[in-house]
Amino acid sequence: MDEFIENVLWDTEFFGIKIGKTIVYDESDFDPLVFYEKAIAQKYELIYVFKYGTMFEQHTVNKAGLELVDIMLTMSKKFIGSDYLDSRYEFRNKLTLKELRDCYKIAEQISAVSRFYYEPKIGPEKTKKLYKKWIDNTVISDISDGFFFIKIKDDVAGINLIKTDDNKKIGFCSLIGVSNKYQRLGIGTKLWMQAFGYWAYEKEINYCMVPFSIKNYKSINFHLKLGFNKIENIKYIYHFRKKEY
């Protein structure tokens, strides 16, 4: 049980509190009392508990001191590259200062659907910084292939950050969003068509995958219309918090 709670070093450093993570597939493998004792003994401020497949029984939640904060669906679409050979795309991995600032604004808007935004131990401001860091990391590292933009005049109206797993032949959406200023103009569809065109020409993939919070029903409905109609997994996300006395 020594590795039952994994220390999440990046999150710990970024948010400034000790954060852990536990992944559970079978509830029978999870002892809530042992978990609770270790969480307290190891002085975690916050622990993410990811339960795959089904929810915990309520008595398990109570004993472990957990709160259900989100339900994430990962949905997939079978990808046939020949369907998108007419899709034009402009792939970017460098930004002007104006483009970077516009991306930051969109990232801050997207952050409002994150579970971190409403987490008392983290809150809105740190969540906004996290999403802006996501943009920075895409520019300077390999966590994503890069950006697709839709620009209206001189404004970045929407962004789509994608990542390709060449070994598994899967294309992932890392982050997608449209500026509040340019909603309902079909920009989300255009962003995806750029990604589809990129994968059709530049990569060899069999599936596209995208995760969503079940709270973001508009995004789920939008992606269903694009053909993301298979649920790959369901992840129930619980948070354990150190109690303040």
The CA distance from 53 to 14, in Å, is 30
What b/e string do you get for 219-238 counting C-beta neighbours within 10 Å, with b at 16 or more? Answer: bbebbeebbbeeeeeeebbb
* Over residues 95-110, mean pLDDT: 93
Please say if the pLDDT value at position 137 is more than 60: yes
pLDDT at 9 over 80: yes
pTM listed for this prediction: 0.90
> Mean pLDDT over residues 199-217, rounded?
91
Regarding beta strands 91-92 and 66-78, do their DSSP bridges make them parallel or antiparallel, or are they unpaired? unpaired
